[in-house]
Amino acid sequence: MKNFLFFFISLSFFLNSCNQNLNNTPNFILILSDDQGWSGTSVQMSEDINSSKSIYFETPNLKKLSSNAMRFSRGYSAAPVCSPSRYSIQFGQTPARLNMIRVGMNTSHIDHNNPNTIPKILKKIDSNYVAAHFGKWHINTDPGILGYDIHDGKNGNKEGKFVNDKSQWKNEFSEDPKKIFSLTNKAIDFIEKQNNSRKPFYLQISHYAVHTNIVSKEETYNKYQNKKKSLVTDNPGFGAMNENLDEGIGMILDKIEELNLSKNTYIIFTSDNGSVPTIPARRFYKKSINYPLSRGKWDAMEGGIRVPFIVSGPGIEASESKVPVVGYDLLPTIIDLANPKFIPTENIDGGSFKNILFSKGKGEVNRNYEGIIFHVPYENKIALNRAHSSIIQNNFKLIKYRDNNEVNLFDLNLDVSEEINISELKPKISNSLEFLLDNYLKEVKSLKWEKGINWKNVEINKINSFH
């Protein structure tokens, strides 16, 4: 009897230990919105800038998330358009290194079997990890190739009811706008299943909202019709769609609380790029929807690349960090939070910001290369229509136009709207950043602009590299 009792106690201890080990392995939820601007929520991203939140949109659940999270007021997408940003997140590399610069391009040159993706590395850390992706993928391979066990396939804009004509700017009604709630319910089912199995998980929910077409619940639309209009954001359908997205996010937060997973789950919210500058889109305007940021989607100006960036999880206090971070920092950060021994180093451009999360927003991101790099080597008539590249280091940002090598330098601490070019006032900083930018683009053999290349008409193998 004593032997049996000893065996039973030992077995119980062993099983509890196994469960505890699984529970100590963190879960990760990445919520990626589409075309959501930095000032496109009711979360004030910067304590110093009142207009870094919307007075028109209502996103109470994102406010709830941010009340227990770190807000990165200098959070950036890796590119001002979606596919390059999405590739960049998965591989921890710049779009310039990936030679992934625009939507709908030939991607045969990209090694989709790269072992360094977020799900693949997490599974090296713990083979119990289960990875899921729901929603807009916009990467030219099956998500399973990148390590996702459960997914919706190679979904793109069309699955989110996008039609590339004038109809995209008209208001439509649905009880499941942009599949917000069907995606959310899939995610909730997945979370519940993993909780029951006691297996750690990585979940990416890539929403189709708030990309056009403009679709929302009718009742939410009516609410925004009756609201006082903002000077720069006055489309009731767009406002309603933002709030419906927030509603879906709230369902995820409620489920995490219900299952008591908060103490072991990191939640990251960000966007693939900034908002369209106007509705309907047009090239010339006085103020962008992204005000106080300049311009919007398609351009590497602040309105196209600075995005909401919120991280919550165990040990993270409610605070703001002014340290610049970018989408390709997510891979090393997630891996660092799971097990720093597995952070890849070769051909990784991102750096972990884990230390910043636990230091009240202070510190720096150690990357293999200095600065945050953006590369837009094509003309786009709806945007600036000038090929350009950019680098951000600390509070300074340099933009270099490829048609005439014109250089603009901005101090983002003093000039978030990028209105005052100080390149002649600070030539040493300007020259240093230009050198870092060009040197990096040469090293990774990035695509080089040629006259007449726009963002859709030229196959990648016809575009020369810097080498």
> Per-residue DSSP letters for 167-193?
GGGSEEE-SSGGGHHHHHHHHHHHHHH
**Are 425 and 293 found together in one domain?**
no
pLDDT band at 5 (very low <50, low <70, confident <90, very high): very low
SS percent in the chain: helix, strand, coil, step 5: 35, 15, 50
Exposure string over 332-370, b if 16+ CB within 10 A, otherwise e = bbbbbbbeeeebbeeebbbbbbbbbbbeebeeebebebe
pLDDT band at 18 (very low <50, low <70, confident <90, very high): very low
- Count CB-CB contacts under 10 A for residue 223: 16
Is residue 467, in this structure, part of any structural domain at all?
A: no
pLDDT at residue 260, rounded to an integer? 97
Is residue 15, in this structure, part of any structural domain at all?
A: no
**Are 235 and 98 found together in one domain?**
yes
CATH of the domain at 457: 3.30.1120.10
**Are 383 and 329 found together in one domain?**
no
**Among residues 320, 340, 324, which one has the least CA distance to residue 332?**
340
Is residue 177, in this structure, part of any structural domain at all?
A: yes
Is residue 422, in this structure, part of any structural domain at all?
A: yes
Is residue 390, in this structure, part of any structural domain at all?
A: yes
Q: Hey, which of 18-22, 280-284, 419-423 has the most confident mean pLDDT?
A: 419-423
Is residue 364, in this structure, part of any structural domain at all?
A: no
CATH of the domain at 108: 3.40.720.10
Phi, psi (degrees; rounded to nearest 5) at 213 = -70, 155
Query: Is the predicted pLDDT of residue 453 greater than 80, yes or no?
Result: no
Question: Which of 357, 388, 413 is where one domain is finished?
Answer: 357
Query: Is the predicted pLDDT of residue 456 greater than 70, yes or no?
Result: no
pLDDT band at 164 (very low <50, low <70, confident <90, very high): confident
> What does the pLDDT look like over 223-263, one tens digit per residue?
999 887 766 677 999 999 999 999 999 999 999 999 999 99
pLDDT band at 462 (very low <50, low <70, confident <90, very high): low
Question: Which of 325, 357, 389 is where one domain is finished?
Answer: 357
**Are 132 and 169 found together in one domain?**
yes
> What does the pLDDT look like over 314-354, one tens digit per residue?
999 999 999 999 999 999 999 999 999 999 988 999 999 99
Question: Which of 307, 327, 357 is where one domain is finished?
Answer: 357
pLDDT at residue 108, rounded to an integer? 85
Query: Measured between alpha carbons, how far is residue 99 from residues 213, 377, 447, 464 in Å?
Result: 28, 10, 6, 11
Is residue 285, in this structure, part of any structural domain at all?
A: yes
CA distance 355 to 340: 12
Which contacts of 345-348 are long-range, i.e. CB under 8 A and separated by 24 or more positions?
347/93, 347/97, 347/116, 348/92, 348/93, 348/116
Least confident stretch, 64-68, 162-166, 300-304, 427-431: 162-166
**Are 322 and 402 found together in one domain?**
no
**Are 402 and 283 found together in one domain?**
no
**Domain extent for 162:** 24-357
**Are 139 and 251 found together in one domain?**
yes
**Among residues 178, 330, 185, 202, which one has the least CA distance to residue 252?**
185
**Among residues 64, 102, 59, which one has the least CA distance to residue 82?**
102
Over the chain, what is the mean pLDDT? Answer: 91
**Are 175 and 250 found together in one domain?**
yes
CA distance 239 to 275: 12
Which run of H or of E encompasses 70?
strand 69-72
**Among residues 411, 389, 221, which one has the least CA distance to residue 305?**
389
pLDDT at residue 381, rounded to an integer? 84
pLDDT band at 457 (very low <50, low <70, confident <90, very high): low
In this prediction, residues 122-142 reach a mean pLDDT of 97
**Are 318 and 396 found together in one domain?**
no
**Are 346 and 379 found together in one domain?**
no
448 versus 299: which is more confidently predicted? 299
pLDDT at residue 382, rounded to an integer? 85
pLDDT at residue 338, rounded to an integer? 98
Query: Is the predicted pLDDT of residue 23 greater than 80, yes or no?
Result: no
Is residue 2, in this structure, part of any structural domain at all?
A: no
Least confident stretch, 236-250, 268-282, 361-375, 376-390: 376-390
CA distance 325 to 218: 37
pLDDT band at 379 (very low <50, low <70, confident <90, very high): confident
Partners of 375 in the beta sheet? Answer: 389
Domain count, the chain: 2
**Are 78 and 120 found together in one domain?**
yes
pLDDT at residue 7, rounded to an integer? 45
pTM: 0.93
Return the SS3 of 467. coil
**Are 387 and 342 found together in one domain?**
no
In this prediction, residues 86-111 reach a mean pLDDT of 91
Tell me the angle at which helices 218-225 and 236-258 cross, rounded to the nearest 10 degrees: 120
